[in-house]
């Protein structure tokens, strides 16, 4: 498969050959930052239209059709509308924290996006504790939500923020335990090494029953982590108006909106990397001809296709199941999800210790 490090190394050598090293590093950082922000925006806009069309399909509708062919330009019209809306300053709010909260959430999701390898050599941040780093950064987003709810000086936003904090902190346990099961199977936390370990067979097949259970737990916990239905209690419209971002307008509200959809892609991308091989093609041992054909498909296509499929499943959840109560949501995590995740982690450790994996 094509190695993108060839392009990045060529670009780096080109810059170093015609300018000082510090200037080359500065230009590289600027280029990478622009590409990340551009990718962030394009992905978020795509996901907004993706969910609208899927929602319409589930409900036997057409979805947005007015702006552009088949409504493809509707998201750009919405983005333009948000950009020109006035930023309303409310009385009684903590103005500094009120304005800081959306930037904390955006920063958290951008850093997580930079950790995902889209193809061979196509990754910005590569640590030997990559998965641990991603989980740590994802926890920072909770701080932005809590600040948004508290600084708005509104009881409904505060309730929404407290619900979101309790929900995300609780379900992080199950999500982390599900990922730990795969880390036990792979023996590493480096994301690139995790992908390379699936060269012959994806982890969801290598780990068989424990890996499948971990995948199911992860998808459910990730749905709750992104505050999506049926776990969208922090934004329960019939109770809390719009939840923790009720008082936001203009681009500040747009940041919350974009971060929600970008987080959907991030959790789907992590599931793709951890369970379905990431950018690694589907290989079947002994089928050399089939494997050769699969290798012709670019790695970035594999990664995006897997991420979009998992996102489809999460969106399917939202438009299929009714919203649960907050007590039911927390009881489901502490009484069922976490004990199952712990037991599954032990089962995976036993399978690895006795060589019961493929």
* Domain parsing of the chain, residue ranges: 87-353
Tell which wins on pLDDT, 150 or 242.
150
pLDDT for res 268: 94
Rounded to 5 degrees, φ, ψ at 100 are -75, -35
The arithmetic mean of pLDDT across residues 166-191, rounded, is 90
Whether the predicted pLDDT of 339 surpasses 90: yes
Q: What is the pTM for the complete model shown?
A: 0.90
Write the DSSP assignment of 114-175 as a string of letters: HT---BTTB-S---TTHHHHHHHHHHHHHHHHHHHHHHTT-HHHHHHHHHHHHHHHHHHHHH
Instruction: Look up residue 234 and give its DSSP letter.
Output: G
CB contact at 8 A, 315 and 178:
no
- Tokens 């948000």 belong to which residue? 82
Residue 118 CA to residue 115 CA, distance in Å, equals 9
pLDDT for res 67: 85
pLDDT for res 204: 92
Band (307; pLDDT cuts 50, 70, 90): very high
| CA torsion through residues 287, 290, 296, 298, sign | negative
pLDDT in tens, 44-80: 889 989 988 998 988 888 888 888 888 888 888 888 8
β-partners of residue 119 are 122
Rounded to 5 degrees, φ, ψ at 323 are -70, 140
What residue spans of the chain are helical by DSSP H? 5-18, 21-58, 74-84, 95-114, 130-151, 155-186, 191-196, 203-206, 208-225, 237-240, 250-275, 288-295, 299-318, 326-332, 338-353
The arithmetic mean of pLDDT across residues 173-188, rounded, is 92
Rounded to 5 degrees, φ, ψ at 288 are -65, -40
Question: How remote is the C-alpha of 72 from its chain's centroid?
Answer: 23
């Amino acid at each position: 498969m094509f190695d993108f490090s060839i392009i990045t190394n060529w670009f780096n050598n080109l810059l170093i050959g015609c300018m000082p090293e510090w200037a080359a590093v500065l230009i590289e950082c600027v280029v990478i930052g622009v590409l990340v922000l551009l990718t962030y925006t394009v992905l978020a806009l795509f996901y907004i239209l993706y969910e609208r069309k899927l929602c319409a399909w589930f409900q036997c509708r057409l979805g947005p059709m007015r702006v552009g062919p088949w409504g493809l330009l509707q998201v750009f019209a919405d983005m333009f509308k948000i950009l020109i809306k006035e930023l309303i300053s409310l009385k009684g709010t903590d103005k500094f924290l009120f304005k800081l909260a959306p930037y904390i959430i955006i920063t958290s999701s951008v850093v997580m996006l930079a950790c995902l390898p889209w193809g061979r050599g196509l990754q910005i941040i590569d640590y030997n504790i990559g998965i641990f780093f991603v989980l740590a950064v994802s926890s920072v987003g909770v701080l932005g939500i809590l600040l948004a709810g508290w600084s708005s000086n509104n009881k409904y936003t505060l309730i929404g923020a407290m619900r979101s904090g309790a929900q995300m902190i609780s379900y992080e346990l199950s999500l982390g335990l599900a990922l730990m099961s795969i880390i036990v199977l792979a023996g590493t936390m480096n994301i690139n090494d995790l992908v390379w370990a699936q060269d012959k067979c994806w982890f969801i097949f290598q780990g068989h029953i424990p890996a499948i259970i971990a995948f199911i737990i992860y998808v459910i916990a990730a749905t709750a982590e992104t505050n999506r239905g049926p776990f969208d209690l922090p934004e329960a419209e019939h109770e809390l108006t719009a939840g923790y971002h009720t008082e936001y307008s203009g681009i500040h509200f747009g940041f919350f909106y974009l971060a929600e959809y970008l987080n959907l892609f991030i959790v789907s991308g992590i599931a793709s990397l951890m369970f379905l091989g990431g950018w690694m093609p589907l290989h079947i041992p002994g089928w050399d001809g089939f494997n050769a054909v699969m290798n012709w498909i670019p790695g970035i296509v594999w990664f995006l296709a897997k991420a979009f499929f998992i996102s489809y499943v999460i969106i399917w959840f939202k438009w299929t199941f009714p919203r649960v109560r907050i007590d039911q949501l927390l009881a489901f995590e502490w009484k069922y999800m976490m004990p199952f995740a712990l037991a599954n982690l032990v089962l995976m450790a036993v399978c690895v210790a006795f060589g019961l994996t493929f």
